[in-house]
Chains A and B, each alone.
Chain A
Amino acid sequence: METMPTKTKEKKSEAEPTRRSFFNILWIGLGLVALAEFIAVAFAFLRPRKSKAPGENTDLIITAGAVERFTPNSVTAFVRGKFYLARLEDGGFLALSRTCTHLGCTLPWMEKEMKFACPCHGSAFDITGNVIDAPAPRALDIYPITIENKMIKVDTRKPIKRSAFRVEQVTYPKKKV
């Protein structure tokens, strides 16, 4: 075994890189890489992901019922699907998320006042999900609707964010021929 170099020797070699200083830097660099790897692993481990259990996804497509069941200008709650099915005055359908866009409270539908009123911070939304009262910053999220054979199906897998109500978001049942 060689003896450790004395301090004076090290000082001499300060100007130019020696094998020792090269290895020191290499070790520190490798250590940092290892640390970064561990942090990346930790984040990848903790990152939430969707469960891919079979059958679960089809569960999230909810058959709401026949078109005639819903009178125009009414709102029906679907507890299992966590959404409201709103039928507008012109007969079109909107599936609205029941979650307030402000801080995530669950909205009750006020039948008399014809609005969703948030119990947490007083936001209110109309039947199309548009904001009537602040502090909510944007309209309620919607879910895609398909109407086949007069049966309404709502896909609750992924809510669609929107800033305000637009006519294109409404799904209309096919007119009778």
Chain B
Amino acid sequence: MQENSVMPDRLSLLQRICYSIFPGTLQRPKYREGYGSFFNTLVLHFRPRSVQERTLRFTLTWGLGGMAVVLVCMLFATGLMLKFIYQPVPDRAYESIIHLQNNMLFGQLIRNIHHWSGNILLIIVFFHFLRVFFTGAFHSPRQFNWIIGLAMFLAVLTSNITGYLLPWDQLAFWAITICTGMLEYLPGIGNWLQKLVRGGSDIGAATLSIFFAIHTAVIPACLLILMPFHFWRVRKAGGLVVPRAPDEDPSSRGDSVPSIPNLILRELVVAVMLIAVIMVAAVIFNAPLGAKANPGLSPNPTKAPWYFAGIQELLLHFHPLFALFIIPVLMLIALVSIPYFNYQTETAGVWFASHRGRRMAAVAALVAIIFTPIGIVADEFVIDFAAWMPGLSAVVSNGILPAAFVLAGIIAFYWLVNKKYAATNNESIQSIFVLFVVAFIILTITGIWFRGRGMALMWPWEY
């Protein structure tokens, strides 16, 4: 035996078991701090050894990426527990949820944590996406990581939709009826895709088992692959984008500091606070559960899940071909191509690209805040191309015409802003992005809170 090692024959059974699990800690007393260093080295398998001091600023990341990881972990843990109770069959699904809530110890709490974590995750990853865009963290070498992020965003969205159906209550059944009903309008493959997703022409037992499989196996597997890929690309890019003032030299980098404790402690604080918030929310607010699904009775109003309220609102103003296919596909293409434009200036690390970029973003947000509600109200009460021009087909009067008007408005905005500010394309692209994001948020808010019976426009307190 070596000098510094403990003699194994003097150890109790418990100690021997302990050392067999953590052999490093056997080396006493010289390495007495063994336990601590053991966990440190474990942590350093996942986190970098040192980080740029400036990337630790809370106002760079707002802890959003870390929060998303914590939420995914909580979803995995609670989802696994729910899986022991839940039965993915139409005759049993709703009853198993009732059983979970009424007869299982902490059943309601587990379901609440899962529900709120899932919904908050969607919000957190959306803010993370905005943060990455507005700090220019999608420029080379982070281009592809933006794409991975978008893929995970879609995965989280799919997970939320598929999870929405599982309780098999009225809320779930009709929201998914609408969502899968939207697929029918995809040109060419629509009907085929709808049948594939539903497992038949109607929502039924086949749909439930397909959604269950996607929710509990396909999406978790995708996330388990994509998340480490995402983090690895961050490491390969040399850590997070280094924040700097607009007029600061891009090549200037500050000091490096060791991750332990500087980074790890901050991450732990964010994680603990987030878990506390979720726990409080889960204790106070129960996850909604309506009456059992009844295919013969659509509730009024029937709304899509809140994250689809924007698309549903779009659907009230545009022909389905535009609202569900042309506009979303164009948006997706635009989002995917964001990191691959040729940009005129190097803006990685600067919030909103520059001073001028900040002003332009504010103007774009203001324009969207003013014109989106005007557009919604005008289309609801005044504009009716279909009635004014009865000779035209619905695709023209409800699709091409309104889309042309909106497009003309956007082009006019782009032209005016460019003329006024003489901006670089970084700033122009950013202002268009702000215009779309704010408009989409307003559409979503309208869909959630300002649509009542028969999807008529009304104040939230009127229904």
Contacts and interface: CB of A to CB of B under 8 A. Distances in A.
A134 B174 contact: no
A65 interface: no
A117 B454 CA distance: 9
Contacts of B320: 102, 135, 137
Contacts of A72: none
Interface string B415-455: 00000000000000000000000000000000000000111
Contacts of A103: 177-178, 181-182, 184, 315
Interface string A69-107: 000000000010010000000000000001000111111
B23 to A, nearest CB: 39
Contacts of B196: 46-48
A105 B180 contact: no
Contacts of A121: 312, 315-316, 455
Given A106-B297, A135-B315, 11 more contacts: A47-B196, A48-B198, A82-B296, A102-B320, A104-B181, A105-B181, A105-B298, A119-B299, A120-B174, A120-B178, A135-B316
Contacts of B298: 105-108, 118-120
Contacts of B24: none
- Looking at chain A, what size class is its interface with the partner chain? 20 to 34
Contacts of A107: 298
Given A121-B316, A121-B455, A79 B178 contact: no
Given A79-B296, A103-B182, A106-B297, A137 B302 contact: no
B195 A122 contact: no
A104 B456 CA distance: 19
A48 B203 CA distance: 12
Given A47-B196, A48-B199, A106-B296, A120 B455 contact: yes
Nearest to A50: B200
Contacts of B455: 120-122
Interface in B183-230: 184, 195-196, 198-201, 206, 210
Nearest to A159: B201
Q: For A103, A107, A135, A137, which residue has the most chain B Cβ atoms within 10 angstroms?
A: A103
Contacts of B201: 48
A68 B196 CA distance: 42
A120 B300 CA distance: 6
A119 B199 contact: no
A135 B319 CA distance: 8
Contacts of B394: 134, 137
Nearest to B453: A119
Contact of B180 (A82, A104, A137): A104
A135 B178 CA distance: 13
26 contacts: A48-B196, A48-B201, A48-B206, A82-B296, A102-B181, A102-B320, A103-B181, A104-B178, A104-B180, A104-B181, A105-B177, A106-B295, A106-B296, A117-B454, A119-B299, A119-B453, A119-B454, A120-B174, A120-B178, A120-B455, A121-B312, A121-B316, A122-B454, A122-B456, A137-B319, A137-B394
Contacts of A135: 315-316, 320, 398
